Amino acid sequence: MSNEPSSPVRGNFDSSSSPARTNDGNVRQVSSPALFYNTSSSQPDTYERDSGTQYRRNVPAAQGSSPFFYPSSHDDRNSSLGSHRREQLAESRTTPGRNLTSDLGNDPVASLSSSFGGRASNRIHMRRNDIHASDLSSPRRIVDLDVRSGVPTSSSSALPSEATEPLRIIWGTNVSIQECANDFRSFLMSFKYKYRKILDDREILVNSTTDEELYYVKQLNEMRELGVSNLNLDARNLLAYKQTEELYYQLLNYPQEVISIMDQTIKDCMVSLVVDNNLEHDLDDIETRFYKVRPYNVETVRGMRELNPTDLDKLISLKGLVLRSTPVIPDMKVAFFKCNVCDHTMAVEIDRGVIQEPARCERVDCNEPNSMSLVHNRCSYADKQVIKLQETPDLVPDGQTPHSVSLCVYDELVDSCRAGDRIEVTGTFRSVPIRANPRQRILKSLYKTYIDVVHVKKVSDKRLDIDTSTVEQELLQNKLNLSDIQELRRITAEDIAKIKEVAKREDLYELLARSIAPSIYELDDVKKGILLQLFGGANKKFTKGGRYRGDINILLCGDPATSKSQILQYVHKIAPRGVYTSGKGSSAVGLTAYITRDVDTKQLVLESGALVLSDGGVCCIDEFDKMSDSTRSVLHEVMEQQTISIAKAGIITTLNARASILASANPIGSRYNPNLPVTENIDLPPPLLSRFDLVYLVLDKVDESTDRELAEHLTSLYIEDRPQHVATDDVLAVEFLTTYINYAKENIQPVITEQAKTELVRAYVGMRKIGDDSRSDEKRITATTRQLESMIRLSEAHAKMRLSEQVEIQDVQEAVRLIRSAIKDYATDPKTGKIDMNLVQTGKSVIQRKLEEDLAREILRILTDHTSDSMSFNELNKQINEHSQDRVDSSDISEALSRLQQEDKLIVLGEGVRRSIRLNVRV
């Protein structure tokens, strides 16, 4: 809100002033784009509404900031909108040549007032583009010209039949408003989908009802039935329809004006359809609604680095990754003022982002200066949100940092996306000046740019959608209308028929596994495990409390040059909300969240890290073993509870990180030693290692036949660009694979049957029995409850893959096979050749623990039998090795002494080999 004097660039003239005239008496063309040449200056500046409340037009000469003037006063002529519209339509039927959209061109002052005037409740929505204009960048105006002046338009055939009527065009252009409205109306009422297929060079099916039906007439009827007021308009359909080819380019160059024309045209078409179908009971509801066109899919998607000043005020499309979004910001649309002397009230509407505060009370009996005060709870507001969009990693040039741009979304688009989403936005590129001091009018020569968004699209054909079961609550809270949800899914009836046909194949499991990274040789079990990870299990929330994750975590460990990183890169390309990072280059705050200061507001804000951005998707972490200890510590909570607790800089919160983790790690020394357990080969703590559902050892074994097949496979990729051992028909396209997985995740929620439950219990008990050994007093643990939960998740994922609503025995058997295969590799004690889960959970096998206990008892026995009070470390080491069949390392003796000292059984004095050990006699 500001009471600053108006800038001539913005075209705010005093209502009492008259247009400047030259010596010959003609009107001189003032530089403001807001001037209406034929507008009468005799219209009142204020108009009455209700009792004692006056609404003032903020800029009489400009008639508001919209391309059309929407009067906000209550007009007696329009007190009954439904009857007024019915009379107008009846007249159009009896009067030849009368156009239903004549509101756009006949009345130079109150254009469109027949549809919008008289409904004060809709004032906020009527002023659609006010919040999009900058302070010094006036939008183009609708100008009334006398057709007798000979000004050419974009099409001379579209001139009005009556030569005395003024012709309305967009300021600075020869684009006729009436032509745009007529062309768009023809498009809505006549477009068929076959026109789009012709544009895209696709085959038109014979006797196809979909290709021949009136595409947008059907959509308008659905909008009326469902009460939807937004129409998502595919801009390429305008190109496919011959009459609107020019309108497409006008939309790109003048989006603010053309979109407003489209909004009104949709309303006229809706009224026509209602009257034609004798549904007049819906007419009043349609008259009170404000319909919006949301164009998308423009021909060229721009890069953030390609934006330049020539793109200002034009419609553009960008792709990027959402970094953060602000809370909902109330954006004032109508300010309500009250006089402190006489209690007179008045409302002032916004004009290009500025609300002019009245300098004095407009009541004639009062006229007190500086007496008007703002009443906040009587003002009208709209929802606004600012989103930070950053370039995706694949679009950033080598050696450069990613660019970012600010997005402003309004009304229904608020909360339509969140951090981590990859989106394509369509909107108008804007600029706003920067003030040197907020309290002064001095402006800097630099401008800040942003995008006013009119459409948000989330999906990509080659990427999976987010897991709706993971973020179900957030989706329910989002204000997405039906058309947005349909666009988010985009699975057609043809796709569903093909999916069900593929699901009937007997080799479905092998077919889908082959389609995962087909350029990588073999690794069949690894691909099957990753395939089930993409399908995922079912997230469960129990009424008695507690939540069990359905996401599957996988770790790939092995020798170099075994395609581990390539598998991660492939999954990252198709995974939803996926983030790829490296363990060496990641910090704890980079994975979770960090505090930074916002450039605009100067406030501390919480920036999401890789795991938070992957919420509902897959986070790929390469070089997992090279993470620092502080970085690894944050993963314990993420991998089990799937949350991140933050307490920094006064911000205390818990963030969701419901993501599957696919990690790869190299062994110590870059080569896996089969004579050592997995915990000694990989630099990972046992508690973290046990949180992975599947751990695969990918080893480089020397075998002549395997090496020959691998070499032929690699060379065939360089020659024919396809694997030698795989035919083209045996691999599914990436687009169809992601469509299949999306359909299964959204529509299939398998339930465990009694037979599957019995099989799960039997398999778990059988895995536990492997550790039974009658010759040993201590039993080995070969399976834990985490393995049971992993079997349940994998079984559900396998049932989803088959599009089955029930988990059957075959699903459980495959899950048990995958887990046993993985455990056999990474949980086998190399000294005994037997499976021992203690290696994974504690880092030590049962045999190792027993040897440590025997060594501790031997140390206590030697010290007890020793005649003197203390014994040197060298002497103790010598006596232990004399009584032992195998040589005992000095490090094992030192570890045993430390443990006994912690138990207060020994007292150790000195350091190194000079240590002296004696019994603690007080115990």
Complete DSSP assignment for 849-913: HHHHHHHHHHHHHHHHH-SSSEEEHHHHHHHHHHH-SSPPPHHHHHHHHHHHHHTTSEEEESSGG
833 & 853 share domain: no
459 & 398 share domain: yes
Between the two ends of the chain, the Cα-to-Cα distance in Å is 80
Short-list 502, 493, 533, CA closest to 790: 533
Cα dihedral 239, 243, 249, 250 sign: negative
654 & 712 share domain: yes
* Inside any domain, residue 834: yes
Residues in the chain: 923
Give dist(CA 493, CA 205) in Å, integer: 15
Within 13 Å and on the Cβ side, how many CA atoms surround 165?
Answer: 15
CATH number of the domain within which 399 lies: 2.40.50.140
Q: CA of 69: how far to CAs of 73, 197, 351, 455, 786, in Å?
A: 12, 39, 12, 25, 66
Which of the listed residues 817, 840, 863 is the one where a domain comes to its end?
Answer: 840
Give dist(CA 90, CA 309) in Å, integer: 49
788 & 767 share domain: yes
570 & 681 share domain: yes
Phi, psi of 586 (to 5 degrees): -115, 140
pLDDT recorded at residue 771: 59
Cα dihedral 509, 510, 511, 512 sign: positive
pLDDT recorded at residue 863: 78
458 & 601 share domain: no
Segments of the chain with pLDDT less than 70: 1-165, 202-211, 352, 459-490, 543-546, 576, 600-601, 720-729, 771-782, 825-847, 867, 913, 921-923
pLDDT recorded at residue 729: 56
Which of the listed residues 812, 840, 868 is the one where a domain comes to its end?
Answer: 840
Domain span at residue 679 reads 493-840
Element (H, E) at 186: helix 177-190
Give dist(CA 45, CA 66) in Å, integer: 18
DSSP type of residue 228: -
What amino acid is encoded at 514 in this protein? R
pLDDT recorded at residue 876: 80
* Inside any domain, residue 208: no
Whether 355 and 1 have beta carbons less than 8 Å apart is answered as yes
Q: Looking at the 3D structure of the chain, how many domains does it have?
A: 3
* Inside any domain, residue 487: no
Which of the listed residues 468, 485, 513 is the one where a domain comes to its end?
Answer: 468
Give dist(CA 136, CA 433) in Å, integer: 8
702 & 718 share domain: yes
* Inside any domain, residue 420: yes
* Inside any domain, residue 531: yes
What amino acid is encoded at 435 in this protein? R
552 & 410 share domain: no
pLDDT recorded at residue 836: 65
CATH number of the domain within which 519 lies: 3.40.50.300
* Inside any domain, residue 270: no
pLDDT recorded at residue 86: 52
703 & 645 share domain: yes
Complete DSSP assignment for 670-690: GS--TTS-HHHHS---HHHHT
Give dist(CA 53, CA 70) in Å, integer: 19
User: Strands, DSSP E only, in 230-314?
Assistant: 230-234, 292-296
Helix/strand/coil (H, E, C) string of 759-819?
HHHHHHHHHHHCCCCCCCCCCCCCCCHHHHHHHHHHHHHHHHHCCCCEECHHHHHHHHHHH
809 & 854 share domain: no
* Inside any domain, residue 210: no
524 & 422 share domain: no
Rounded to 5°, angle at Cα 472 from 469 and 476: 155
* Inside any domain, residue 313: yes
Q: For residue 5, what are the contacts with CB-CB under 8 A and spacing of at least 6?
A: none
What amino acid is encoded at 813 in this protein? Q
Structure tokens given for 824? 């056999």
Q: CA of 192: how far to CAs of 188, 236, 486, 537, 676, in Å?
A: 9, 13, 20, 42, 69
CATH number of the domain within which 876 lies: 1.10.10.10
Structure tokens given for 284? 């009043």
557 & 653 share domain: yes
pLDDT recorded at residue 781: 67
pLDDT recorded at residue 691: 86
Please give the distance of CA 766 from its chain centroid, rounded to a whole number: 44
Helix/strand/coil (H, E, C) string of 828-843?
ECCCCCCECCHHHHCC
Pairing, β 694-698 against β 751-752: unpaired
pTM (2 decimals)?
A: 0.62
* Furthest CA-CA distance within the chain: 130
> Collapsing DSSP states into helix, strand and coil, what is residue 302?
strand
